[in-house]
Structure 1
Amino acid sequence: MLVLVTTTAAAQPRPLRVLYLSQSVGFVHETVRRPADGLASSELALQAMAHDSGAFTVELTQDARDITPARLADVDVLLFSTTGALPIDRPTWDAIVSWIESGRGGFVGVHSAADTALAFEGGQEFYTAFLGGRFDGHPWTQGTAIGLSTLEPRHPLVSMWPEHTGYAEEIYQYAGFDPARVRVLQTLDMRVGPLRRPYPVPVTWVRQSGAGRLFYTNLGHTPSTWDDPRFRAQIVAAIRWTGHRLDAPTAPNPDVQDRAAITALSAAQGLDEPTPPSDLSEIASRIRALQALHPEKHDGDATAWDAALDQLSDSAP
């Protein structure tokens, strides 16, 4: 007797649905500027990532008013590369946050997504708290040689990068940043490049938002970054992770960030990195406070800056 045995392949999940917003209210980055007869370089790059990975499809818009509560029902991941006060009202923003926190959607922010606000009263504060930080200047201007440190080389959202590498990018520093709320995966390496500041500068982080997930990276200022296979792999991984197709740790890592603060201070000052002190958290907090004291923020007055550095030199191991 013949027995017919049939097998069926496991159903493949449908591609994630990404809505890419690249609206500029104010400064327009080269990566989002559309030529008269085509798409912006970042839009073309995302289309290529979608095609090559098969992990997602992408819709493109440069008008935040296209994001409505009804539209979110057909979206899995929002991706922002934006600037300025976006025309999103409070009810729509509340719907976006609810959509994410319920686990129905995820958020990916690229570069100037941190130089973004919302066009309603208190919108800047709401958005900063959501993202985890806001633009506070970019001492590392376009094309500056930098060092990039990957703090967790095996983490799926940064494993495509070496633990330490040189790069050329525009790098932001942030206000409203709370290490206790995010897991930082990449930072500036202050041992590399012509501009070395004695405080930590996060580059890539993730956080959990209710049942939803948020990814942000400072990278993505230039078309060359969008063409970099490592960056493309990172964005695909971020989309998969925020869309719940990839698992990765999200718990905040303030202890790791505190050690990175000590490393930044030591590297910028040309000192050997010390053994982490017993009061690491307190010293790291004082190191982070240096950013707001830098002379460029006080019309060149270095009095507070010099005093704080002297105190840290006296107290650091």
Structure 2
Amino acid sequence: MSQLNRRDVLKFAGLFAGGALLSPLADRLAQAADGPKKRILFFTKSSGFQHSAITRPADAPTKLAFAEQYLTDIGAKHGFEVVCSKDGTMFTPENIAKFDAFAFYTTGDLTKDSDKYASVPKKGPDGKALKDDKGKAIVEKGALLWKEPGMGDAGKAAFLEAIKQGKGFMAFHSATDTFHSAKHQKGELIRDVDDKGQDAFDPYIQMIGGEFIVHGAQQKSLLKAVDPKFPGAKAYDNADFSEEWYSLKNFAPDLHVILVQDPAKMTGPMYQRKPFPETWARMHGKGRVFYTSMGHREDVWQRPEFEGLVVGAMQWITGQIEVDVTPNIKQVTPDADAKQFAAGK
């Protein structure tokens, strides 16, 4: 790595270690900077709603989407090789072995194909575009833009086993709206922060540590950094900004909560609840897992605080830095129970 990049790594380490430049954290990062690059597969397949941040241009379907380009660029800046894909067939034991960690911005059942097609206006016999009763143009499926093959049951199992055996995992926003538990599909709620009944959760939900319920209108919400020592987290303490905030449930009982969502001033029945985890880390067997519900809009990704948090997570999940992730969910969000409101079904 060039001397300039090495200085950048040292500077970053000093910033988030909160101490001198030549701290133990900085030493470890400097050593990592001179070693082989860690490889991360950024998987952005959408079997449900596709967010604009991961939507590739219709006229250039091989061009990376906004979030894909972002993670590729900051990865390169900090010594990572990021490979972006929407192809679930990547998840074979042979391909999985080529990566040190995985990043997900996904929705739905990733075992299924979800090819993306252009939307074209539907026209009537007179050749004019048809509109619905609200005056919105009616569209139909057009040409194939790009293929999104599913990973299949075998791919899912191989991926989850790889995390358990020590591969890293980080996830953004709708990654908790992925592989829902069976009871969620039936509109039922399962109690949060509960050591019992974990087997009822989809194994992916068990791994990521929480599950999406619903979201309301985009609005400001207050975050609290309950672990300001996690790289990048301190910048979010008492942060108050607009985002598409998720209401979440089915938290793993061993979560290490980093940022807490304080919904006290939020509007919408789904937010009428006590503070609950928003960003967290946990161990899944030997694997390191990180999740943040942030990332709906492109401008959220452009916040300098977001880069600090994301880079810190990349370094932790790949073993470049050590962070204390002792479970704390029952201490910092003891009332994070989705059953306290009725609108989450």
Q: TM-score, normalised by structure 1?
A: 0.74
Instruction: Provide, for residues 16-74 of structure 1, a one-character-per-residue CA deviation record: whole Å limited to 9, x for no partner.
Output: 101000011121101111012222110111122023222x0111101222221110111
Amino acid at match of 2:313: A
Where 1:137 maps in the other structure, the secondary structure is strand
Residues 266-281 of structure 1 mapped to structure 2, 5 A cutoff: none
* Cα separation, 2, equivalents of 1:46 and 1:10: 22
* Cα separation, 2, equivalents of 1:190 and 1:118: 24
CA gap of 1:10–1:213, structure 2 versus 1, over 3 A, is closer
Decide which moves more: 247-256 or 189-198.
189-198
Match of residue 137 from structure 1 = 214
* Cα separation, 2, equivalents of 1:119 and 1:74: 29
* Cα separation, 1, equivalents of 2:236 and 2:172: 20
Percent sequence identity over matched residues?
Answer: 29
Instruction: Provide, for residues 58-100 of structure 1, a one-character-per-residue CA deviation record: whole Å limited to 9, x for no partner.
Output: 1110122222111011101100000010023333233222322
Residues 127-276 of structure 1 mapped to structure 2, 5 A cutoff: 127-139=204-216, 141-142=217-218, 144-156=219-231, 158-159=233-234, 161-178=235-252, 180-194=253-267, 197-257=272-332, 260=333
Amino acid at match of 1:147: L
More helix by share: 1
- Residue 91 (str. 1) matches residue 167 (str. 2): no
* Cα separation, 2, equivalents of 1:244 and 1:18: 13
Kindly state the Cα deviation for residue 197 of structure 1 after the two structures are TM-superposed. 2.5
Kindly state the Cα deviation for residue 296 of structure 1 after the two structures are TM-superposed. 2.7
- Contact 2:273-2:340 within 8 A present in 1 as well: no
* Cα separation, 1, equivalents of 2:31 and 2:283: 29
CA gap of 1:209–1:167, structure 2 versus 1, over 3 A, is same
- Contact 1:85-1:119 within 8 A present in 2 as well: no
Where 1:230 maps in the other structure, the secondary structure is helix
> Unaligned 5+ residue runs, structure 2?
1-29, 112-150, 183-198
- Contact 2:230-2:312 within 8 A present in 1 as well: no
Q: TM-score, normalised by structure 2?
A: 0.68
Count of equivalent residues: 256
> Unaligned 5+ residue runs, structure 1?
1-8, 261-283, 299-317
Match of residue 29 from structure 1 = 51
The counterpart of 2:67, out of the listed 30, 42, 54, is 42
* CA RMSD, 1 decimal: 2.7
Where 2:94 maps in the other structure, the secondary structure is helix
Instruction: Provide, for residues 146-172 of structure 1, a one-character-per-residue CA deviation record: whole Å limited to 9, x for no partner.
Output: 11111111222523x242111111111
Amino acid at match of 1:169: E
CA gap of 1:255–1:134, structure 2 versus 1, over 3 A, is closer
- Contact 1:208-1:214 within 8 A present in 2 as well: yes
CA gap of 1:132–1:294, structure 2 versus 1, over 3 A, is same
Match of residue 315 from structure 1 = none
* Cα separation, 1, equivalents of 2:296 and 2:40: 20
Amino acid at match of 1:221: H
